[in-house]
Chain A
């Protein structure tokens, strides 16, 4: 791990009119790290990554990628640099077969430069590269699954397809917005090794999750948000032991209430 963080988020604030969705959040992430972001519903997690990836403009604050200021750049430029994301509400191309879903990201300038996930700088036939990526990510090549229309697939495959869309760009950072939600325990269990493999491949990951148990298992560090502010940042053990986090998740009054009922 180099000393310079791959991504630095400095005092990022986003206000929607009167609502301050993200309030002065600062964190760094180093290469090949997995950073988990947790927080109750509406605590500003999605808004924060929308700010980082350029999908919305920050109200104030800075985002640095390898020391370079990328605040305010358009979303497609940021993706072109290698910072990709999945969407909390999945956005596959529903009317297309799965492998054709990947033809679109493979058409991008970045894919042309890098050749796709495993590509060595030269992009082959997009259909073939697309099927290769799908196979690596758990679509059985010899089955019909890669050729099926996306709208007919179960959630588990669609979540993988979201990841595959990022991988087609050969990204440096993938930001996953609730990639485990809506999946069964067994689907999550098969997804965890995939995440670990991406990390081994040298990809830096930011994972927003509500499924704390699995997240704590894969993450190197955890960031907790509440009402748009950073509550604590630390290793999974530190975060789990923290009093403030318990308060955030159960609420001090509610905790007392629960106690009195007990």
Chain B
């Protein structure tokens, strides 16, 4: 067939289905059309520990989940509230050190340290970042990047919290299955929670803070307050990750404040598709294992991240998830002209 005699036709699959939940109940096909992607995601995540070839790779899954929490937190703040956060390391560090302190100094079990570190840690991070919330522009990014660097130097210089050696002897989850399923369930919980949140009325307010802050002020709402609420939610995700991480490694040290925690989630978000919340999780599932494979190259790995990032920004700036969603909701076929 001559190329010129056909063209690609794009059809929109069931617009009705997506615009109104009620229609979805009308047929099994439409119902499965809506639930299938979610099902694939949930089942896929839950079977991951089984299909990993070794304990080493099972550990990698846990790390993927920690990064996924950070990446979702980045995507939530950047895309839905308009705050570009480079504070992944801050969240991990604060959550991690809090859990470490509670466990080693006060003998609290992970069952207590993780929820407390999540809430208290999020409160501390929000207080840290509060001064730059009324400002527009790059200040938030810069300040959130500076804190972990500064905290690491403070811990080093004052030799507190174990100094450069870190805090050792932290209780583990006890069982690697418990460990993996805990972090996997947390990722799913925060993912669906965050997606729910951004579709509620308060989610509209968050987006309004991003797109049109003057109108929000004119409506009698404090932008700083809503930014603080959002930062609290985002840092809770990160602190939860940090607290889990120290119980996984059974160790807490200044490498929790390392730049990787700030940078890799951003790369994962770009690759996976910004503004989808699922995309960043997908990005982490791709990037973190690759980064493990490249461990032998040491810090040279950063070159690799950069290359992937540049390639994606140039060729597929929308990210995998946005692309995939488009393909799923539309189907294409060749038609003769």
Q: Is residue A200 contacting chain B, with contact meaning CB distance below 8 A?
A: no
B204 contact from A87, A103, A165, Cβ within 8 A: A103
Least CB distance from A159 to B in Å reads 14
Knowing A107-B204, A107-B205, say if A79 contacts B211 (CB, 8 Å): no
B218 contact from A79, A100, A107, Cβ within 8 A: A79
Q: Is residue B149 contacting chain A, with contact meaning CB distance below 8 A?
A: no
Q: Which of A24-32, A91-99, A244-252 contacts B (4 or more CB under 8 A)?
A: A91-99
Determine whether the beta carbon of B218 is less than 8 Å from that of A53.
yes
CB-CB under 8 A from B202, the residues of chain A are 107
4 other A-B residue contacts (CB within 8 Å) besides A85-B218, A108-B221, A109-B220: A87-B214, A92-B215, A93-B215, A107-B201
Q: Interface digits, B213-241 against A, CB 8 Å rule (1 contact, 0 not)?
A: 01111111111000000000000000000
Knowing A55-B214, A93-B212, say if A126 contacts B201 (CB, 8 Å): yes
CB-CB under 8 A from A80, the residues of chain B are 220
Q: Interface digits, B5-35 against A, CB 8 Å rule (1 contact, 0 not)?
A: 0000000000000000000000000000000
A92 to B215, CA, bound (A): 8
Determine whether the beta carbon of A105 is less than 8 Å from that of B214.
no
Determine whether the beta carbon of A108 is less than 8 Å from that of B215.
no
Q: Is residue A206 contacting chain B, with contact meaning CB distance below 8 A?
A: no
A165 contact from B207, B211, B219, B222, Cβ within 8 A: B219
CB-CB under 8 A from B212, the residues of chain A are 91-93
CB-CB under 8 A from B205, the residues of chain A are 104, 107
A80 to B225, CA, bound (A): 14
| Tally of chain B residues near chain A (CB < 8 A) | 18
Q: A53's closest neighbor in chain B, by CB? A: B218
A103 to B208, CA, bound (A): 11
A107 to B219, CA, bound (A): 9
CB-CB under 8 A from B201, the residues of chain A are 103, 106-107, 126
Least CB distance from A202 to B in Å reads 19
Q: A126's closest neighbor in chain B, by CB? A: B201
A-B contact list, 15 entries, CB within 8 Å: A55-B214, A74-B222, A76-B216, A76-B222, A77-B220, A79-B219, A87-B215, A87-B218, A103-B201, A104-B215, A107-B201, A108-B219, A126-B201, A165-B218, A168-B219
Q: Is residue A75 contacting chain B, with contact meaning CB distance below 8 A?
A: yes
Determine whether the beta carbon of A93 is less than 8 Å from that of B214.
no
Within 8 A of A (CB), among B153-208: 201-202, 204-205, 207-208
Determine whether the beta carbon of B204 is less than 8 Å from that of A96.
yes
A76 contact from B204, B207, B211, B221, Cβ within 8 A: B221
Within 8 A of B (CB), among A156-189: 165-166, 168-169
Q: Is residue A221 contacting chain B, with contact meaning CB distance below 8 A?
A: no
A93 contact from B208, B217, B218, B223, Cβ within 8 A: B208
CB-CB under 8 A from B220, the residues of chain A are 76-77, 79-80, 84, 105, 108-111, 169
A55 contact from B217, B221, B223, Cβ within 8 A: B217
Determine whether the beta carbon of B215 is less than 8 Å from that of A165.
yes
A104 contact from B208, B214, B222, Cβ within 8 A: B208
Determine whether the beta carbon of B219 is less than 8 Å from that of A104.
yes
A100 contact from B204, B215, B217, B219, Cβ within 8 A: B204
Least CB distance from B208 to A in Å reads 5
A95 to B218, CA, bound (A): 18
**Looking at B205, B211, B216, which has the most chain A CB atoms within 10 Å of its CB?**
B216
Least CB distance from B131 to A in Å reads 16
CB-CB under 8 A from A110, the residues of chain B are 220
Q: A89's closest neighbor in chain B, by CB? A: B214
Q: B225's closest neighbor in chain A, by CB? A: A76
A217 to B203, CA, bound (A): 42
CB-CB under 8 A from B221, the residues of chain A are 76, 104, 107-109
CB-CB under 8 A from B215, the residues of chain A are 87, 91-93, 104, 165
B216 contact from A53, A94, A104, Cβ within 8 A: A104
Least CB distance from A125 to B in Å reads 10
A79 to B219, CA, bound (A): 6
CB-CB under 8 A from A96, the residues of chain B are 204
Determine whether the beta carbon of B211 is less than 8 Å from that of A95.
yes
A75 to B201, CA, bound (A): 22
CB-CB under 8 A from B211, the residues of chain A are 93-95
A168 to B220, CA, bound (A): 11
Q: A82's closest neighbor in chain B, by CB? A: B220
Least CB distance from B271 to A in Å reads 25
Least CB distance from B223 to A in Å reads 8
Top 8 A-B residue pairs of the complex, sorted by shortest distance between their CB atoms: A79-B220, A105-B219, A80-B220, A108-B220, A91-B215, A75-B217, A110-B220, A76-B222
